[in-house]
Structure 1
Amino acid sequence: MDEKGLKKDQQLSDEELDQLMSKFDPEAGYRKLTGIIGWIVTIGLLCFSLYQLYTSTIDRFSPQIHRSIHLGFALSLAFLLFPASKKAKMKGRKGRFQITWVDGLLASLSVVVGLYWPLNIDQLVMRVARLELTDLIVGALAIVLVLEATRRVVGLPITIIAAVFLSYAYLGPIMPGFLAHKGIGIDRIIRTMFFTTEGILGTPLKVSSTFIFLFLLFGAFLIKTGVGQYFNDLAVAIAGKRTGGPAKVAIFSSALQGTISGSSVANVVTSGSFTIPMMKRLGYRREFAGAVEAAASTGGQLMPPIMGAAAFLMVEFIGGGITYWEIAKAATIPALLYFTGIWIMTHFQAKKIGLRGLKESEMPNRLEVLKKIYLLAPIFVVVILLMSGMSVTKAALWSIVSAIVVGSINKETRMKPKDYADALINGARTAIGVATATAAAGMIVGVVTITGLGLKMAGGLIALSNDILFLTLLFTMIASLILGMGSPTTANYVITATIAAPALIALDIPVLSAHMFVFYFGIIADITPPVALAAFAASGVSGGEPLRTGVNSAKLAIAAFIIPYIFVYSPELMMIDTTWTEILWIVFTSLTGMIAIGAAMIGYWLRKTHWTERIVALGAGIMLIYPEGSTDFIGLGVFIALFALQYFIKGKETEPQSAGA
Structure 2
Amino acid sequence: MDNVVKIDEEKHQSENEQADVLEGKRILDPKSFGFRMIAFIAFCWSFFQLFVVLLPINDVFIRSIHLSFAIALAFFMYPMFRTKKTMSSIPFWNYILAALGSLSALYIFIFYNELNARSGAWLQLDVWAAIAGIILLLMASRRALGPALAIIAIIFLGYVKFGQVMPDLIAHKGASIEKMMGQMFLTTEGIFGVPLGVSASYVFLFVLFGALLERAGAGQYFINLAYAALGRFDGGPAKASVAASGMMGIISGSSIANTVTTGTFTIPLMKKLGFPGYKAASVEVAASTNGQLMPPIMGAAAFIIAEFLGMDYAGVIMAAAIPAFVSYIALFYIVHLEAKKLGIKGELKDRLPKVWDVFVSGLHFLLPVFYLMYTLVVLRMSPQRAAFNGIIVLILIMLVQPFVKSLLAKNGIGFTQNAKTAISDIIVGMINGAKNMVPIAIATGVAGIVVGSVTLTGIGLILADVIETLSGGYIVAVLALTAVVSLILGMGLPTTANYIVMASLTAPVILGLSGDLGYLVPAIAAHLFVFYFGILADDTPPVGMAAYAGAGIARSDPIKTGLQGFAYDIRTAILPFMFFFNSKLLLIDGVNPDDPRDPAGWVWITNPLEIGLIFLMAVLGMLAFSSFTQRWVKVKTNIIEMLALLAITVLLMVPNVVADLFKLPHEYVSYAIGVALYAMVYLWQSQRYKKYKVIV
Q: Is the 8 A contact 2:399 2:422 kept in 1?
A: no
For 1:365 and 1:636, locate their aligned partners in 2 and report how far apart those are by CA, in whole Å. Answer: 36
1:594 matched to 2:633: no
Aligned pairs, how many?
A: 637
Shift, 1:290, TM fit: 0.9
Alignment-derived partner of residue 372 in structure 2: 382
Shift, 1:139, TM fit: 0.7
The alignment partner of 1:86 has SS state of coil
Alignment-derived partner of residue 366 in structure 1: 355
For 2:400 and 2:427, locate their aligned partners in 1 and report how far apart those are by CA, in whole Å. Answer: 20
Alignment-derived partner of residue 5 in structure 1: none
Q: Alignment partner for residue 563 of structure 1, among 575, 579, 598?
A: 575
For 2:694 and 2:75, locate their aligned partners in 1 and report how far apart those are by CA, in whole Å. Answer: 70
Alignment-derived partner of residue 438 in structure 1: 444
CA RMSD of aligned residues (A): 2.0
For 2:21 and 2:95, locate their aligned partners in 1 and report how far apart those are by CA, in whole Å. Answer: 24
Alignment of 1:503-514 (within 5 A): 503-506=509-512, 507-508=514-515, 509-514=521-526
Alignment-derived partner of residue 117 in structure 2: 126
Q: Alignment partner for residue 73 of structure 1, among 69, 85, 89?
A: 69
Q: Is the 8 A contact 1:170 1:186 kept in 2?
A: yes
Q: Alignment partner for residue 639 of structure 1, among 674, 678, 681?
A: 678
Shift, 1:33, TM fit: 6.2
Q: Alignment partner for residue 489 of structure 2, among 469, 483, 486?
A: 483
TM-score of the superposition, structure 2-length normalised? Answer: 0.88
User: CA 1:412–1:156 in structure 2 vs 1: closer, same or farther (change >3 Å)?
Assistant: farther
Q: Is the 8 A contact 1:521 1:561 kept in 2?
A: yes
Alignment-derived partner of residue 545 in structure 1: 557
User: CA 1:93–1:258 in structure 2 vs 1: closer, same or farther (change >3 Å)?
Assistant: closer
1:654 matched to 2:693: yes
Q: Is the 8 A contact 2:400 2:422 kept in 1?
A: no
Q: Is the 8 A contact 1:25 1:266 kept in 2?
A: no
Q: Alignment partner for residue 421 of structure 1, among 419, 427, 430?
A: 427
Q: 2:629 is matched by which residue type in structure 1?
A: M
For 1:186 and 1:496, locate their aligned partners in 2 and report how far apart those are by CA, in whole Å. Answer: 25
Q: Alignment partner for residue 218 of structure 2, among 193, 214, 227?
A: 227
For 1:226 and 1:14, locate their aligned partners in 2 and report how far apart those are by CA, in whole Å. Answer: 11
The alignment partner of 1:481 has SS state of helix
For 1:562 and 1:585, locate their aligned partners in 2 and report how far apart those are by CA, in whole Å. Answer: 20
* Range with greater deviation from structure 2 (346-355 or 397-406): 397-406
User: CA 1:588–1:118 in structure 2 vs 1: closer, same or farther (change >3 Å)?
Assistant: closer
Alignment-derived partner of residue 325 in structure 2: 336
Q: Is the 8 A contact 1:341 1:557 kept in 2?
A: no
Runs of 5+ in structure 2 lacking a partner? 1-9, 407-417, 516-520, 590-604, 657-666
* Range with greater deviation from structure 2 (629-638 or 279-288): 629-638
User: CA 1:92–1:563 in structure 2 vs 1: closer, same or farther (change >3 Å)?
Assistant: closer
For 1:111 and 1:590, locate their aligned partners in 2 and report how far apart those are by CA, in whole Å. Answer: 49
Alignment-derived partner of residue 580 in structure 1: 608
Alignment-derived partner of residue 636 in structure 2: 608
Shift, 1:166, TM fit: 1.1
Runs of 5+ in structure 1 lacking a partner? 1-11
Q: Is the 8 A contact 2:17 2:27 kept in 1?
A: no
Q: 1:163 is matched by which residue type in structure 2?
A: I
Q: Is the 8 A contact 1:572 1:627 kept in 2?
A: no
For 1:451 and 1:604, locate their aligned partners in 2 and report how far apart those are by CA, in whole Å. Answer: 51
The alignment partner of 2:240 has SS state of helix
Q: 1:25 is matched by which residue type in structure 2?
A: E
1:51 matched to 2:48: yes
Shift, 1:556, TM fit: 1.3
Q: Alignment partner for residue 620 of structure 1, among 645, 648, 654?
A: 648
Q: Is the 8 A contact 2:491 2:543 kept in 1?
A: yes
Alignment-derived partner of residue 82 in structure 1: 78
**Percent of matched pairs sharing the same residue:** 36
User: CA 1:30–1:433 in structure 2 vs 1: closer, same or farther (change >3 Å)?
Assistant: farther
Q: Is the 8 A contact 2:490 2:537 kept in 1?
A: yes
Q: 1:382 is matched by which residue type in structure 2?
A: L
Shift, 1:17, TM fit: 4.8
Deviation digits for residues 318-370 of structure 1 (CA, Å, limit 9, x no counterpart): 12xx2111110111110111111110011011111211111235323434312
For 1:656 and 1:206, locate their aligned partners in 2 and report how far apart those are by CA, in whole Å. Answer: 65
User: CA 1:525–1:125 in structure 2 vs 1: closer, same or farther (change >3 Å)?
Assistant: same
The alignment partner of 2:111 has SS state of helix
For 1:378 and 1:243, locate their aligned partners in 2 and report how far apart those are by CA, in whole Å. Answer: 33
Alignment-derived partner of residue 412 in structure 1: 405
User: CA 1:615–1:289 in structure 2 vs 1: closer, same or farther (change >3 Å)?
Assistant: farther
Deviation digits for residues 616-648 of structure 1 (CA, Å, limit 9, x no counterpart): 223322322224324323322221111111112
Q: Is the 8 A contact 2:183 2:452 kept in 1?
A: yes
For 2:282 and 2:649, locate their aligned partners in 1 and report how far apart those are by CA, in whole Å. Answer: 22
Q: Is the 8 A contact 1:259 1:308 kept in 2?
A: no
For 1:327 and 1:140, locate their aligned partners in 2 and report how far apart those are by CA, in whole Å. Answer: 36
Shift, 1:525, TM fit: 1.2
Deviation digits for residues 427-469 of structure 1 (CA, Å, limit 9, x no counterpart): 1111111111111011111111101112221222122212211
1:239 matched to 2:230: yes
Alignment-derived partner of residue 601 in structure 2: none
User: CA 1:612–1:552 in structure 2 vs 1: closer, same or farther (change >3 Å)?
Assistant: farther
Q: 2:268 is matched by which residue type in structure 1?
A: P
Alignment-derived partner of residue 9 in structure 1: none
User: CA 1:164–1:556 in structure 2 vs 1: closer, same or farther (change >3 Å)?
Assistant: same
Q: 1:69 is matched by which residue type in structure 2?
A: I
Alignment-derived partner of residue 7 in structure 2: none
For 1:585 and 1:650, locate their aligned partners in 2 and report how far apart those are by CA, in whole Å. Answer: 30
Shift, 1:159, TM fit: 1.4
Alignment-derived partner of residue 266 in structure 1: 257
Alignment-derived partner of residue 6 in structure 1: none
Q: Alignment partner for residue 150 of structure 2, among 159, 168, 175?
A: 159
Q: Is the 8 A contact 1:287 1:539 kept in 2?
A: yes
User: CA 1:128–1:30 in structure 2 vs 1: closer, same or farther (change >3 Å)?
Assistant: farther
For 2:623 and 2:438, locate their aligned partners in 1 and report how far apart those are by CA, in whole Å. Answer: 41
Q: Is the 8 A contact 1:377 1:406 kept in 2?
A: no
Shift, 1:124, TM fit: 1.2
* Range with greater deviation from structure 2 (403-412 or 193-202): 403-412
Alignment-derived partner of residue 190 in structure 1: 181
Q: Is the 8 A contact 1:31 1:83 kept in 2?
A: no
Shift, 1:208, TM fit: 0.9
* Range with greater deviation from structure 2 (376-385 or 580-589): 580-589
The alignment partner of 1:61 has SS state of coil
* Range with greater deviation from structure 2 (132-141 or 39-48): 39-48
For 1:545 and 1:118, locate their aligned partners in 2 and report how far apart those are by CA, in whole Å. Answer: 48
User: CA 1:594–1:429 in structure 2 vs 1: closer, same or farther (change >3 Å)?
Assistant: same
Deviation digits for residues 290-332 of structure 1 (CA, Å, limit 9, x no counterpart): 111111101110111111111111111112xx21111101111
